[in-house]
Structure 1
């Protein structure tokens, strides 16, 4: 009788182990972002970007960079339409149950800061969780950081869908698709 009960529980135990293993597995995605300014009015943050803006996140490995596919969308974000693209980048990244962060930057570095710098933290549960902390910096004549605009946003994203995140004078288009 006891052996029969244990035997009956075996499929349930195996299913539980398999499903928990799948939950911690990472999946390779293509992440593509477009950061843009929506107006000519700049809204400075209360303070400039911190010196540790990358917060331990690593830059994107050049071997993981991918060809951008949101070129039509980026092409519509022109100064004639009231927009200015600040960054357009695509890369491959493993996303799983544990958060993984990448450091993004563009432009010439000045005293440890870039014209655009920040981090994207991604985690997959049922949806993909995104935490964005991006600074658009301005420098004085000596090259020192004088002020920053901060785009700070958290969102739940559907895989494969283009998502628009609006934040004051800055915007972010992001699409995360399985590879």
Structure 2
């Protein structure tokens, strides 16, 4: 009997990770915190995508955090630099995607970077982005780098990653994630 109890407990711990692999809805906002002085970094590397596939148009989804972006833009403390939503496959191994915003010039974008998402007990996120100043010829004149990670993100929860003068709001949830039903108070009294 004790073996069955231990086996049940073990399956309960392992099962969520086994069923977690699949399509995830991802939405992120890259922000500039205007009250924090900007820090320049080394130029964005030529392989800024780190070998990750670029986000395809067919994977993009409608923005769900538009109200949050509007509120941030209305305050003098923040500037929204990039706001994108998409769907990607996520599992227990890193799933990377490369994002670029603005006009591409000789392989660089004004805003470019990559995002890695891994599903485990929690969702692990690694973000590495550059905000570039490009000259008329497409050469990078100056870069600001945002590099942060968090391995305790809960599915469906809006998470803030602080990188000093640059920051990120990100939400990662299984596609089609249903909200937890609210119990009827009368049922809870029984």
With normalisation by structure 2, the TM-score equals: 0.79
Secondary structure at the residue paired with 2:115? strand
**After TM superposition, where is structure 1 displaced by more than 4 Å over at least 4 residues in a row?**
19-22
Aligned residues: 167
Q: Residue in 2 aligned with 1:171?
A: 167
Structure 1 residue aligned with 2:144, among 149, 155, 166? 149
Q: CA deviation at 1:168?
A: 1.4
Structure 1 or 2, whichever has the larger Rg, is 1
- What is the TM-score with the length of structure 1 in the denominator? 0.84
2:109 pairs with 1:91 = no
Structure 1's unaligned 5+ residue stretches are: 1-7
CA distance in 2, matches of 1:20, 1:38: 40
Greater CA drift, 139-148 or 47-56: 139-148
Determine if the alignment matches structure 1 residue 104 to structure 2 residue 99.
yes
8 Å CA contact retained: 2:20, 2:119: no
Unaligned ranges ≥5, structure 2:
176-190
Distance 1:21 1:170, change over 3 A: closer
